[in-house]
A and B are shown apart, each in its own frame.
Chain A
Amino acid sequence: MIILVAVLVLGFIAGSFGLLLGYAAIRYKVEGNPLVDQIDALLPQTQCGQCGFAGCRPYAEAIANGEAPINQCPPGGEQVIVALADLLGVEPEPLNEEHGEHKNLPMVAVIDEQTCIGCTLCIQACPVDAILGAAKHMHTVIADECTGCELCIPPCPVDCIVMEPLPQTLDDWKWEPPRLPGETRDDDDDGEVPAHA
């Protein structure tokens, strides 16, 4: 008798937990792979396609599925590789230079408005709608929205788009790291600090 009670009680508990879990699985179902979102959040969103995928999200999906290594993003550079390695628990690797070089300065596309013929090809190429214009009318780049992906350059039939470094304002200026003990830096010899050697 006592065994029967135990079996019934345990069976009831198991059954109710089963129902609870089943309900939770439906109620709190996560659509898509949350890892993709986390990876996508780390990528620089230039949508440049230098990684070989059609934008940052497809690359994030490929990384999440283990189909692509984490070192194919030139605009992100080492910083993104380290962040991705940290997220995924893998060793960081150097940037695969086949996909392009990391540029330290942020770049922006500039259209030479004298040469532009208004063909709209660059507008169609821009992944973030940062080029403004209409057919047979001058086009221009909205510099604040440009990610510097360079996708507008190849389609231009008159080669009137050039990449220029984004002008730095004093609000973007950064303090230099100070000289700290136990660190050697080759760029801090500004004549202000006495030589120790």
Chain B
Amino acid sequence: MPDGPRPQRSFHLHKFHGGLHLEDHKQESTARPLQTASLPGQLVLRLKQHIGEPNDPLVAVGDRVLRGQKIADTPERVAAPIHAPTSGIVIAIEDRPVAHPSGKSDRCIVIEPDGQDEAIEFRPVDVGSADRNTLLKHIREAGIVGLGGAVFPTSAKAETAAAHPIETLIVNGAECEPWITCDDILMRDRPEAVISGIRHLQRILEPGETLIGIEDNKPEAIAAMQRALDDAALDNTRLIPVPTIYPSGGEKQLIKILTGHEVRSRHLAFEIGLLCQNVGTCAAIGDALDRGEPLTHRIVTVTGTGLREPGNWWAPIGTPFAHLVDLAGGFVVERPEPIMGGPMMGFEVRLDAATVKASNCLLILNRDHRPEERECVRCGRCTDVCPAQLLPQQLYWYSRARQFDKAEEYHLFDCIECGCCAAVCPSHLPLVQLYRYAKSEIREQRRKAWKSDRARQRHEFREARIARQKAEEEERRRKKREALAKKKAAEGGKKPAKTDAADAVQAALERVKARKAAQQNTPKNTDNLTPAQQKQIDEAEARRRQKSTEGDS
């Protein structure tokens, strides 16, 4: 180590409430090294892959695009642009099935790769001399979003957080959900990219200390990261192995484990001087600033009991799921159930949809016969395991009875949908689905309330405007009447003025009469015509008559 002996004080870890020890199923996909995915026939890039404002396409159908070229963006702040992952032709900008629990379609840019993989010129950023805003701008331009799953634009998150004093930067490498290993593989294969991204974040946020949390079921990743960390010699940065317990990778849970702080309901971590970033996001920041490369690829775990050769692939964003299934040797089960994400928090997707920035894992399980749901027996096990310290049973009753206001009072929106309650429920109640349903109903009610408030305001404004216009019109009339009355009264006093006016009217009438008389005179220029002139006039007259008869017919 270059500097003096660093105090390796023992680190006190905290515990969060509840949680579960799950079978982790990690070795299925970590047995094989990271592979580079072959290019699919088409890359389907959804226009909106982040939380925030939607993007508009910057290319047209038929355009040739290069790797790293920005193909969609918006001027809004909370957004992240999309870049072409390889060179090729834009063959469509249309609605395609997307990786969304609805299975519905949304606007996508479809690129047919030409196999050349020609790239734009990437310009690394001189991080040493760049100021905070320049770095944030480059992070936004690179299209970086939170790759832990929330896909909130990283530049917006860091910009908001940078306005507060950040005591601790937490780097989340916990990857607690079963089956998913993309962060594990990333930390094993490219720890220097992660560390480099952490260094850049430290420049932006200037945190007092940085803690990297990795679950202790990933010894290789921990070793690789520790080596890279020692090489980089970052100040006040520590790697902390954390116990393997689901969901330690939840933001609030990891914060609790590492710092003992609890982020209050409806509050964000930066308000208490903390900021959490996923290791994948850090690596993307490292690539964007060190190499100038935007976010166009990510590691996707393709795993599950339903696949022949599970593994991890470095795949372009926009790769159809069916292509990933082919890469993993195809299905080995009769009724495959494709899930994006893990078995706890993921959702079912269509195979013709494509990966997005959030796609950490494609999990293929066999569509089992689910055990039949029975009535709640009030055992309270859900309450014991809930990492958000909620009362899942109360939420169940209220959501079920559509008493959504009550469910909100019981902090439904603090539910992180981790699935612990449903996993332990002896009655196999689909609790998470119920909470998701209740949340979306409440969100719709809020949207409706917002819209009707706006309609009420606009209606009241319109009524007020009409009333005002009426009053103004009335006022104008009254003023005019008064002015007339005044004038009349004034004129009544002065007789000669009135005769003047009468004379003027008389004179005007005579002028009009004279003009009319003048108009009735015959034209002077038709007298004394030569025969040639007369002929010309006759011809013109004939043409005119002919034209008018043509027009009539």
Contacts and interface: CB of A to CB of B under 8 A. Distances in A.
Is the A/B pair a real complex?
yes
B441 interface: yes
A147 B451 CA distance: 8
B437 A175 contact: yes
B373 A179 contact: yes
A40 B456 contact: yes
A175 B447 contact: no
B369 interface: yes
B459 interface: yes
Contacts of B451: 45, 147
Interface in A170-185: 170, 172-182
B458 A129 contact: yes
Contact of B455 (A45, A172, A176): A45
Interface string B403-431: 00000000000000000000000010110
A74 interface: no
B437 A176 contact: yes
B375 interface: yes
Contacts of B440: 173-175
Given A173-B440, A178-B437, A145 B375 contact: no
Interface in A181-197: 181-182, 192-194, 196
Given A170-B100, A170-B104, A147 B433 contact: no
Contacts of A147: 451, 455
Given A175-B101, A180-B434, A181-B375, A170 B459 contact: no
A175 B370 contact: no
B373 A170 contact: no
Nearest to A40: B456
Q: Tell me whether chain A's interface is mostly helix, strand or loop, or mixed.
A: loop
Given A127-B459, A129-B462, A170 B444 contact: no
Given A174-B437, A192-B367, A145 B373 contact: no
A55 interface: yes
A129 B455 contact: no
B235 interface: no
A50 interface: no
A174 B458 contact: no
Contacts of A179: 373, 430
B367 A128 contact: no
Given A127-B462, A128-B459, A174 B100 contact: no
A117 B259 CA distance: 67
A37 B97 CA distance: 44
Given A129-B458, A145-B454, A181 B437 contact: no
A46 B437 contact: no
A9 B390 CA distance: 56
Q: Tell me whether chain B's interface is mostly helix, strand or loop, or mixed.
A: helix
Interface in B68-122: 98, 100-102, 104, 106
A145 B429 contact: no
B346 to A, nearest CB: 14
B400 interface: yes
A184 to B, nearest CB: 13
A128 B427 contact: no
Given A45-B453, A45-B456, A129-B458, A181 B430 contact: no
A115 to B, nearest CB: 26
Interface in B30-73: none
A47 B455 CA distance: 8
Interface string A147-181: 10000000000000000000001101111111111
A56 interface: yes
B372 interface: yes
Nearest to B375: A181
Contact of B374 (A46, A145, A181): A181
Contacts of B456: 40, 45, 56
Given A45-B453, A46-B455, A193 B462 contact: no
A118 interface: no
A40 B292 CA distance: 56
A88 interface: no
A92 interface: no
Contacts of A145: 454-455, 458
B160 interface: no
Contacts of B437: 174-178
Nearest to A42: B452
A173 B102 contact: yes
A172 B444 CA distance: 7
A180 B458 contact: no
Contacts of B448: 44
Given A170-B106, A173-B440, A181 B455 contact: no
Nearest to B105: A170
A194 B367 CA distance: 11
B323 interface: no
A47 B400 contact: no
A129 B439 CA distance: 32
B261 interface: no
Contacts of B434: 177-178, 180
A130 interface: yes
A60 to B, nearest CB: 11
A175 B373 contact: no
A182 B375 contact: yes
Contacts of A182: 375
B373 A180 contact: yes
A129 B461 contact: yes
20 contacts: A45-B455, A55-B459, A56-B459, A127-B462, A128-B458, A147-B451, A147-B455, A170-B106, A173-B104, A174-B437, A174-B444, A175-B433, A175-B439, A177-B433, A177-B437, A179-B373, A180-B430, A181-B374, A181-B427, A194-B370
Interface of B: 98, 100-102, 104, 106, 367, 369-370, 372-375, 400, 427, 429-430, 433-434, 436-437, 439-441, 444, 447-448, 451-456, 458-459, 461-462
Interface of A: 40, 43-47, 55-56, 127-130, 145, 147, 169-170, 172-182, 192-194, 196
Which 5 A-B pairs rank lowest in CB-CB distance, beginning with the nearest? A45-B452, A178-B433, A178-B430, A45-B455, A174-B440
Given A47-B459, A169-B106, A174-B444, 14 more contacts: A45-B453, A45-B456, A56-B459, A127-B459, A128-B462, A172-B447, A173-B440, A175-B436, A178-B433, A178-B434, A180-B434, A181-B373, A181-B374, A181-B427
